Structure 1
Amino acid sequence: MTEKAGSPETPRRLRADAQRNVDALMKAARTVFDASGVDAPAKEIADLAGVGVGTLYRHFPLRSDLVKAVVESGIDACAAAGPQLSAVHEPGDALAEWLRRYTEFLGTKRGLAPALHSGDPAYEGLSGYFLEKVGPALTALLDTAAAEGAVRDDVSAHDLLYAIANLCMPVPGEGPEYNRRMVAVLIDGLRTPRQGVSSGPSS
């Protein structure tokens, strides 16, 4: 009886352990990829995660499997942040904070760029996944902020996603802080009401 009572818990415990390993591996991979690029040794990732190399390959047989999982987890986090921020911030502040987090997400992708632009078919679905998840999250934040009058109403989610992506491109001689400053300027401009095209001298 004791053996039977304990056996149903064992698979659940193993699944929980496996999920912790996956989470640790992806966290370690993000750190290693950012510091050393996507070609960093598997052992470096496994050591940082506190698991064996065999565990890494059991969950992610190919390097592209790990890269894709890291990117998708970042996309999921961006999407989930929308409602979370809306619950605790005013609409304009929620939007601004989300845009800052999106900026940080783009920064983490720099080390992944060689792989993502390699033409590997494993990454073909990532653009669609990104738009499917992140587009609605940003649209909801933007629409709510615009309806409240917190931001201008002539900017779309598409505009913001690609404007920030361009502002986050590497600039020779500059680091990520430069990109953050440029995004801060964009956010300030987003908050500013549009002025009339022609404004005569005040009387």
Structure 2
Amino acid sequence: DRYYRLAEQCGRELVKRDFAVITGGGPGIMEAANKGAFEAGGTSVGLNIALPMEQLPNPYQNVEIDYRYFFIRKVGFVKYARGFIIFPGGFGTMDEFFESLTLMQTLKIAPFPVVVVGTDFWSGLLDWLRSCMLDTFQTIGAEDLDLFSVTDDVEEAVTIIHETHTGKRQVAKQLPRFESDAEEEETGEGTRMGIDRRRGGRVRESYDLKEDE
């Protein structure tokens, strides 16, 4: 399968850039990314979910964590990830994709890179977001479509993650940045407590990278 091979390559390339790889720990695309990271000698994490009929953990994990509830499992993804690289998947994949966008849009987490891989899979959804949600019903703004990137190139996806992590790239430039990253401003699951405007909570405007970067 083409996407299995691409996900395996993605796992390898992330390890080369000194990232750990975190997946849902199951078969298919999740297995492929874990396999790439595991065989490259990196940290390969599986956030597994107990299901009555479907998922068993794949064998390419050197850190394995089991969850009973999906919502707690998603907390693990958001709290510990430097970014999301999302391959074709089902409802669970869509759930994780849109939750990451919602958390950034509502300033519950600091902006981080979200990259979807596979234009043949994602193009229909992206067309619907533009034509229905943006143009017809205006339930999102044009800037919301800048919360993620689309590519067919795994190298590009990994580079976006790496350059954002090292400060050479800024994602979601339209969003304001928080004045402080102090731990007391976070909830236990790693999201922001929120801004109480009645008490003068403040954010600062989006910053610009240095011109030489």
Higher helix proportion: 1
Q: What TM-score do the two structures reach when normalised by structure 2?
A: 0.29
Which is richer in strand? 2
TM-score, length-scaled by structure 1: 0.30
Task: Kindly name which structure, 1 or 2, has the bigger radius of gyration based on alpha carbons.
Answer: 1
